[in-house]
Structure 1
Amino acid sequence: MDTQQNTALTRALAEVPGPLPASGVIHIVIPHTSRFTVVGNHLAQHPDLSCTAVGIAVRIQSLPPGARVGIKELAARCREGEKRVAAALRELEACGYLQRARVRLPGGRIVTRTVFCNQPTALLRPRHPHAAVQQRPAPVQAQAEAQPPAPAPAPTQASAPAPAAPAARPVTPPAPPPPLTSPPAPPQPPALPFVPLVPPPTAPKPPPTPLPRPSGATPELDRAATALLGDLRRHAPQFTLSETDIRQLAPGVAAWLERDAHPDTIRHTLTNDPPHPLRHPAKLLRHRLTALLPPPLPGSLDLVAPTRPRIAVTPFQTCDDCDRAYRTEDRAGRTEDRAGRTEGVRTAA
């Protein structure tokens, strides 16, 4: 007697029309009359979406327009954490159901605008607008024609027969105006395909940057690089490397030493502020050796300021007769300016 029986479910199961399947799920379909959302099978049975992504999509589709659907808001509504919600949103973006774009408001504030499409495959098909035709209702006939004529009074023996009334002139109803039709809408270009902003996880990734190597490999550089990598565990125990990792990373440290980087500077750059917990120290060192490689030191001639080209200036000379200064290239010959030569000509005349 400890097993609870759901009598309502049993009674509903007995009312299912048709033969029941021998195995598999049996559906009891009760039509919804309020508070329901239509979800397509393309979303519910999507082969590339996880169950979490499908549930998040249904949750977003059931919310009213204007509701916040950020990672923190969805994590507060659901039992999944922020990481699973973020991964589900990325899956929906890759499949075209969701699109997020950063928009700058007129006040200068930047917000994220989220667009959700319940059937993204329909956007790929061109849509043709149908011209709506509005018709005016049929005109109302004249009041005289609408109302039936009053019956004539029956003649009596006491009263004399009434004279015959003149025949009424027939009323011709006006012709109905032609139906009004709206002008045909201009043809619209076909809708562009929905392109997700974030590339799908299956998109090809660029090849990683190769580890730097010294231009002139020498045994001294290799020995110094190997010793520096093996000595890292004395200063940071989490950077305990294997011999294979040291052999692979030694050319990168040798490239730093070749560019006159001090060993203490290399050690501080490689071990400063590591992530917690540090799961792959060799990968972190490889990234830092590649991304933070300093340029070669400039030579002594590169640090000299460039000299400006000298401009030839014609020197000043002083006239022996009038003591006026003037510019001339002839330092040994003439010693008179134009005024002195003019004065000398007048004296000679």
Structure 2
Amino acid sequence: MDTQNLSAPPRTPSAVAADPARSRRHTGGLIHENTRHTERFTVIGNHLTQHKELSLLAIGLGCHLQSLPTGAPADIKSLASRFKEGTTRIAAALRELEAHGYLRRERVRTATGRIVTRTTSCNQPGHRREAANTDCPAPTPRPTASGRAPQRRPRKALPAVPQPTQAAATALHQQATDLLTALRRHDPRLLLSATDTAHLAPGVIAWLEREVTPATVRHALTTDLPDAPLRRPAALLAHRLTAQLPPPPPYRAPAAAPPPVRHPLRTCDTCDRAFRAPETETHCRDCRTAAAATP
């Protein structure tokens, strides 16, 4: 990816650059002022930089990935810490690149048994890289009436999931993520990517804030799964989280305040007046006030 081409001849100057007078007469359009690179440069094809279907964010991210050295972190979290677009937009751009063959992401198991995501950046989709003896995936075009092969469309977005309150989303985020990550222990087909987990987590939180236990959520997501291979397990889980969402818990009225204490009637030892007071009081209020005022 970080290919240096020190022996490439310099670009032939354009007619505008070779003729200063013509440059002064130029009134519109782009003019290039090019200086030949001799270090720290990457060769990137115009098929990527001028792609007609990729978004500008996907094109820029594709160029950035091709410029990174082998072994550089290329996951969503690392890219979001480098750029300000955020995890949602970066994840969408990665899906675009993946759909058009510029990116390949695979879940592989290391020698220690850990599952990691291996990201491969392809500078020419469909061409073999001889050094690694691997193929960059190319889009699978369908023939059209005109005989042209259109580009493969981006992967269809996952169905929406229920959204929790902001307070619950903050307090229960880790619990929901752990629940989704552990689903593969119940069925290996439910191995989810980091992007799919982030999409489904709010739906799980919406269940948990309705006083549903994690075991109940897990049972709803893993019971009666089809026997056939799951082509998009995240889409199935998103559907279940929405279709089987339980109602909110019943309203619980706050506990009523206890009634005020009503003391029994008793007779003042001084004036024989009836008054209500605890058993410890033997004089009415007037007598207590008069006794306190007497020197």
Please tell me whether Structure 1 or Structure 2 has the larger radius of gyration of its CA atoms: 1
Q: TM-score range by the shorter chain?
A: 0.3 to 0.5
Q: TM-score, normalised by structure 2?
A: 0.40
